[in-house]
Amino acid sequence: MLNSRQERDILIVQAEIERLDASVSGTFKGTMRDFIDNGHNMILLNLSLVKFIDSSGLGSLVSCLKLIGKKGDLVLCGIHSNIMAMFKLTRMDRVFQIFPSEEEALSSMPK
Partner 1 sequence: VNATQLKMIINSDIENVFLISTVINRLCLIAPLSSDELFQVDLCVVEAVNNAIKHAYGNESGHQVEVTFALYPNRLTFEICDAGKPMDTKCLPQKGVPSFDFDPDDLANLPEGGMGLLIINEIMDQIIYATAEGKNKLTLTKFFQANESAS
Q: Can you give the binding site for partner 1, defined by CB under 8 A? A: 19, 21-23, 52, 54-56, 58-60, 62-63, 65-66, 69-70, 81-83, 85-86, 89-91, 94-95
* Shortest distance (Å) from residue 20 CB to partner 1: 12
The smaller minimum CB distance to partner 1, of residues 1 and 85, is found at 85
Rounded to 10 degrees, what is the CA torsion of 97, 85, 7, 28? 110
* Shortest distance (Å) from residue 45 CB to partner 1: 16
Strands of the sheet containing 2-7, edge to edge, are 2-7, 10-15, 42-46, 73-77, 97-99
* Shortest distance (Å) from residue 7 CB to partner 1: 25
Angle (deg, nearest 10), helices 25-37 and 55-68: 10
The smaller minimum CB distance to partner 1, of residues 89 and 110, is found at 89
The smaller minimum CB distance to partner 1, of residues 43 and 102, is found at 43
The smaller minimum CB distance to partner 1, of residues 8 and 51, is found at 51
Question: Under 8 Å CB-to-CB from 102, ≥6 apart: which residues?
Answer: 12, 44, 46, 77, 78
